[in-house]
Amino acid sequence: MSTTDQRVAVVTGAARGIGAATALRLAGEGRAIAVLDLDAEACAETVAQIDAAGGRALAVGCDVSDAGQVRSAVDRIATELGAPQILVNNAGVLRDNLLFKMSDSDWDTVMNVHLRGAFLMTRACQSHMVDSGFGRIVNLSSSSALGNRGQANYSAAKAGLQGFTKTLAKELGKFGVTANSVAPGFIATDMTAATAARVGMGFEDFQAAAASQIPVQRVGRPEDIANAIAFFTGEAAGFVSGQVLYVAGGPLD
Ligand SMILES: NC(=O)c1ccc[n+]([C@@H]2O[C@H](COP(=O)([O-])OP(=O)(O)OC[C@H]3O[C@@H](n4cnc5c(N)ncnc54)[C@H](O)[C@@H]3O)[C@@H](O)[C@H]2O)c1
C-alpha cells in the first residue's frame, strides 16, 4: 500500500497508557493515527512521538460519551486525515466500589464511557469503513468481564463490549469489516496505579502482588496489548472476526 492510500486509524483514550502504546504501534505499521482523548493538549506527547518516528498523527479532543462531540470529531478526522478504516475503542475509566456503596453516577459514568462511547464511535466510523469495503474494529474488554469484586459497573460494561463486538462482526462482515475484542489482564498504567493508591498500596508492591498470581510471573505492559491490537487490525487478519483474546500472561479461571 502506498502512502497516498495509507489507512487511517482512530485510537480513543490515546493520550497515555494502552491507547498511547497502540497509537505508536499502529503508526509503526504505517497507519495515519487520530490520537483521540478528552483533551487535545494531553494528546500532544503521543503525537510528537509518532511525528518523531516519521509517522502522521492528528490530536483530537473528544468525550466519546457525547454524541455531538463524536460526530464532529469523526467528521474532522475524515477531512483532515482521511476516512477512518480502523477504530480502537480503548477510552476507559474506573469507578470501583462494592455494590452496596456504588452510586448511580459510578454506574452511569462507566457505562457511558465504555459502552455508549464504543457505540457512538463505532456508529460514526462504520459508514467510512462500509463505503471503502474495509474496516477493522477492536474493542478493549478486560479480564474483569468474568467478574471482579468491587467492579459491578466495569465488569458489566466489559462483558457488554464482548457482546457488542460479536454483533458488529455479524452485521458488518459482509462489508469487509472485522470486529474483535482484546481483554487485558493486569497492565501497568495510570489506571492500575490509581487502583493501588485507592487500596492504600505502593504501586511497586501492588504490581509484585499481581505478578505472583500470573503464570508468566510479571504484570503486563501497554505494548503487550498494542501487539495483540496490531494483529487484529492487520491486513492479514480479515478472516478473524468476533473473537475475544485474553492477554493476561496466562489462562483465566
Ligand atoms: N490497565 C489495565 O490493567 C487494564 C486491564 C483491562 C482493561 N483495560 C482497559 O484498557 C483501556 C485503557 O486502559 P489504561 O490502563 O491505558 O487506562 P488509562 O487510565 O491510563 O488511560 C485511559 C485514557 O482514556 C481517556 N478517557 C477517559 N474517559 C474518556 C472519554 N470520555 N473520552 C475520551 N477519552 C477518555 C483518559 O483521559 C485516558 O487518557 C481501558 O478501556 C481499560 O478499561 C485496562
Query: Is there an atom of ligand 1 within 6 Å of 221 CB?
Result: no
Q: C-alpha cell of 222?
A: 501497554
Residue 179 pLDDT: 99
Taking CA atoms only, the protein residue closest to ligand 1 atom 9 is 140
In whole angstroms, give the CA distance from residue 8 to residue 87: 9
Q: Which atom of ligand 1 is nearest to the CA of 17?
A: 16
User: For residue 61, what are the CA distances in angstroms to 2, 42, 111, 142, 193?
Assistant: 29, 9, 20, 25, 24
Is 154 assigned a catalytic role?
Answer: yes
User: How far, CA to CA in Å, does 90 sit from each of 4, 204, 217?
Assistant: 27, 25, 25
Which atom of ligand 1 sits closest to the CA of residue 154? 43
Which tens digits make up the pLDDT trace of 55-71?
A: 999 999 999 999 999 99
What is the model's pLDDT at position 147? 98
Q: Which of 11, 18, 187 to mutate to test the pocket of ligand 1 (most atoms within 8 A of CB)?
A: 18
What is each CA distance from 146 to 93, 143, 158, 183, 201, in whole angstroms? 18, 6, 9, 10, 24
pLDDT for the residue 161: 99
Going from the Cα of 219 to the center of ligand 1, the distance in angstroms, rounded, reads 17
Nearest-CA residue for atom 41 of ligand 1 = 92
Strand 8-12 and strand 135-140: the pairing is: unpaired
Question: Which residue type sits at 59?
Answer: A
Q: State the distance from the centre of ligand 1 to the C-alpha of 217, rounded, in angstroms.
A: 24
| Cβ–ligand 1 contact at 38 (below 6 Å) | yes
CA of 187, closest atom in ligand 1: 3
Q: Is the CB of 155 under 6 A from ligand 1?
A: no
Predicted pLDDT at 253: 76
Got the DSSP string for 69-134?
A: HHHHHHHHHHHHT--EEEEEE-------B-GGG--HHHHHHHIIIIIIHHHHHHHHHHHHHHHHT-
Distance CA 140, CA 117 (A): 12
pLDDT of residue 3: 45
CA-wise closest residue to 87 among 133, 20, 18, 36 = 36
Q: Residues in the chain with pLDDT < 70?
A: 1-4
How far apart, in whole angstroms, are the C-alpha atoms of residue 111 and residue 130? 27
Please tell me whether the overall predicted TM-score, pTM, comes out greater than 0.85 for this model: yes
Classified as helix, coil or strand, 182 is strand
Give the per-residue pLDDT at 1.
46
Atom of ligand 1 nearest to the CA of 66: 31
**Strand pairing report for 84-89 and 57-61:** unpaired
73 in ligand 1 pocket by Cβ < 6 Å?
A: no
